[in-house]
Amino acid sequence: MDASDLLRGALLQLSESDAVRRAVVAAPVSRAVVDRYVAGEAVEDAVSTTADLRATNRLATIDHLGEDVTDRQQAAHTRDTYIALLGALTEADLARYGAAEVSVKLSAVGQSIPRDGDAIALENARAVCEAAERAGTTVTLDMEDHTTTDRTLETVRALRADFPWVGAVLQAYLHRTEADCRDLAGEGSRVRLCKGAYKEPESVAFQDGTDVDLSYVRCLKVLMAGDGYPMVATHDPRLVEIAQALAGHHDRRPDSYELQMLLGIRDLEQKRIADRGHQMRVYVPFGRDWYGYLVRRLAERPANVRFFLRSLTSRG
């Protein structure tokens, strides 16, 4: 395990610390820190950022930040925020044909509520899917820590009975993911493949960055050879090149898969990819609950830590 892997582990540990969360959120952080990675706090901010992306031929998937909700009212509020967002995207003519879709964490819409969490999350996610269908776009269910993987995939299957376009997310650092890719690579199946952004035990996840990359490539091979719609979520230039080479090998049309990157990371490369006629979708988070998201993004790309620390101590 090299230094970057150790730093990633330390950052993921920080993402789970309530004490550190309180200290960082209360600190006089320059708005540049959050603004680089988060569209803003309101629906209008997310719509504005999406319009800017569309002006440069990029697509968007929008996430209302928040997770591990244990209150029914808060889960309903998150559901209603997504429905309002989809309505606003429709009014701005940004939703049709999947130009902008939404990403939903099931723990944000009730999965973590004791006893009835899975049923509540399914009901709320279904309401978001209904709004997305009216808007002419799609929904992708984000994946969280490994303890929720089976429950999340079960919800995906339940929703696909009525909304076959619901997307699933698989995380390459989990030992199980190559097998999950084989299960989900069928016709019409939308699957986002990412490396993974949670601190997981060695028993279920690869710990070394090289092992994660090798798993990612194995999973890519399965998805590109399948009949589904791969969504390749990575900032790694090597993996982007491999994904495009595999797509060519399997005679995939440019509209039969897409590349995905996060808002604020490799912006020029995103534009270059879009300008070359490839589908580039940007993950656009918005909302007040940015801390966990931001720290996990730093863990994925430790080079951003220096930028973050400078901003923490700035007074601008």
3-class state of residue 311 by DSSP:
helix
Whether 157 is a known active-site residue: answer: no
Q: Are 301 and 235 in contact (CB under 8 A)?
A: yes
d(CA 314, CA 304): 16
Active-site position among 142, 180, 213, 289? 142
3-state helix, strand, coil in the chain (%, to 5): 55, 15, 30
* Tokens describing residue 198: 């949670």
Active-site position among 8, 36, 79, 192? 192
d(CA 282, CA 237): 16
Q: Are 298 and 14 in contact (CB under 8 A)?
A: no
d(CA 178, CA 196): 14
Could you report how far apart the first and last alpha carbons of the chain are, in Å? Answer: 37
d(CA 54, CA 281): 10
Q: Are 103 and 283 in contact (CB under 8 A)?
A: yes
DSSP lists the bridge partners of residue 194 as 171
Whether 35 is a known active-site residue: answer: no
Catalytic positions, please? 142, 192
